[in-house]
Homo-oligomer: A and B are copies of this chain.
Amino acid sequence: MRNIKLVLEYDGTNYAGWQRQKNALSIQQVVEEALYKLTGEKITVIGAGRTDSGVHARGQVANFFTASRIPADRFSFALNSLLPYDIRVLESQEVPLEFHARYWAKAKQYRYSICARTHAPAIGRNYYYHVPDVLDVEAMNAAAQYIIGTHDFKAFQSAGSSVKNTVRTIYQARWIWEPPCYLYFDIKGNGFLYNMVRILVGTFIEIGRHRLQESDMKRILELGDRDKAGPTAPAHGLCLEKVYY
């Protein structure tokens, strides 16, 4: 048996997220079916993060076990010949049998993309959340300082989640303004609660609109109350950029 690690890029628009599920097509299922065609084995692919429906990835990492004798670095080419164009394997390599894409992940980097102008984007419309308002990027960046470090992010977790430890460490959080109307939020942390990036972004947008103040980010963190945070920003603006091991 060999353990193969993949780095994947995908456009999540037409999928019900990473994780396999009934009655909806997931990226995991499509990759597993391609592996079945390739190897004849019924393989389970372990992803580093369960991206939601509509969420994209430029650097999702996954691993799987195989008895196949295909050279590790050829899996990327062989899989790409079988996969649809909205899923690409960028790298494939053999890793130690102990490697586990999810448990071994030390940190993840996400990017959230916004198009802030009156009219919605036509180009890249599946990759940008359209906000038809002027956003105060300086205020958003000032608020971003409050989430850097180790905090209890209970307020930034979707209701119904059963995770007990809601403490996470954020290494980097910053907004980048690209004229004429594009905004990018880059965040790197040791882990993320369910919908955490999207609720953070929804809160930052309220700050950018001056409906909340910069210091409200600190207050909401301390209160730990989901209802005080902003709405969950839509999935299609989010992209899993990189997984660190």
Contacts and interface: CB of A to CB of B under 8 A. Distances in A.
Interface size class of A (residues with CB under 8 A): 20 to 34
B123 A89 contact: no
Contacts of A120: 80, 85, 88
A122 B90 CA distance: 10
A124 interface: yes
Contact of A125 (B11, B58, B117, B121): B11
Nearest to A239: B123
Interface in A107-142: 117-125, 127
A205 interface: no
Contact of A9 (B10, B76, B85, B122): B122
A11 B122 contact: yes
B119 A11 contact: no
Contacts of A87: 122
A88 B122 contact: yes
A75 to B, nearest CB: 12
A227 to B, nearest CB: 32
A86 B125 contact: yes
A172 B122 CA distance: 26
A113 to B, nearest CB: 11
A188 interface: no
20 contacts: A9-B119, A9-B121, A10-B122, A11-B122, A11-B125, A56-B123, A76-B118, A80-B119, A80-B120, A85-B120, A86-B122, A88-B119, A88-B120, A88-B121, A88-B122, A89-B119, A90-B117, A90-B118, A123-B127, A123-B239
